Amino acid sequence: MVYTPRSARHGALLVGTVTVLGLLSACGNSHDVHSNPPVTDSGTAAPATGGTTSPTSAGSAPASAPAGASSSSTPQTSPSAGGGGGTVPASARCHTSELSASVGRNDPGAGQEKFPVVLTNKSGRTCTLRGFPGAAFVNGAGTQLGPDPRRESGSATTITLRPGQSAWAGLTYSNPGISGAKTATPAALLVTPPDERDALRVAWSGGSVPVSGNSSTVFLSVLSPGTAP
């Protein structure tokens, strides 16, 4: 029997114990790796706030408006019945129901009769007029007398009317006593604001007007701010 010193036996026992513990630890670590793999969340990152930009997930695309939709609104206008001479947004335009009409005093000269046709904003909001009004002489039964007035040359401008403010257009024709035109005496003048279809009825007190024959044309000027020249 070989004699082994006590210190050598103790060292060998210590080395064997460390080896066994190392093997057990390695086995434990190997089991953890295979039974608990890393977890990855998928999905789109939530929008960030405070002026920063968040990441965008793969495959995502910016949202777009549905077909037929627009990011901006285009002002709409109704067809012109009164001779607009320009396009005014419907939301800003003075509508017939918001206006009153009148005919000012005749200012004759050089064989011409000249009446200002006045449109006044009677509503509680600010609105606009642009271009030429429409006009027609009618008898007591509402039948039109003579052709529609023709437009004089002139540039249309947008006129802003606050509540109570007015715009006017000149109604002119040759004096029938001088021109020899066939005449009739209207009961009223129908006035249609630019880009509107409904007319305003104004009693006519200006006497006879030309309806046919020589120099019987009636003219209307473009609207200007105020109530008279």
**pLDDT per position as a tens digit, 95-148:** 999 999 999 999 999 999 999 999 999 999 999 999 999 999 999 999 999 999
DSSP state of 97: G
Residue at 9 is within a domain? no
pLDDT at position 45 is 30
Query: 207 near 106, Cβ under 8 Å?
Result: no
201-209: average pLDDT:
97
Q: Which tokens sit at 65?
A: 């408006």
Q: Name which residue leads in pLDDT, 63 or 199.
A: 199
Residue at 212 is within a domain? yes
Residue 137: domain span: 96-225
Residue at 194 is within a domain? yes
* Beta strand ranges found along 34-86 (DSSP E): none
pTM, full prediction: 0.63
Q: Which residues contact 56 (CB under 8 A, 6 or more apart)?
A: 44, 45
66-71: average pLDDT:
29
Residue at 37 is within a domain? no
Residue at 67 is within a domain? no
Q: Name which residue leads in pLDDT, 43 or 152.
A: 152
Cα 119 to Cα 99: distance, rounded to the nearest angstrom: 6
pLDDT at position 82 is 61
Cα 192 to Cα 96: distance, rounded to the nearest angstrom: 7
Element (H, E) at 10: helix 6-35
Local confidence band at 205 (pLDDT 50, 70, 90 cut-offs): very high
Cα 158 to Cα 27: distance, rounded to the nearest angstrom: 90
Count of domains observed in the chain: 1
Residue 8 has pLDDT above 80, yes or no: no
Q: What is the CATH number of the domain that holds 170?
A: 2.60.40
Cα 208 to Cα 185: distance, rounded to the nearest angstrom: 4
pLDDT at position 224 is 97
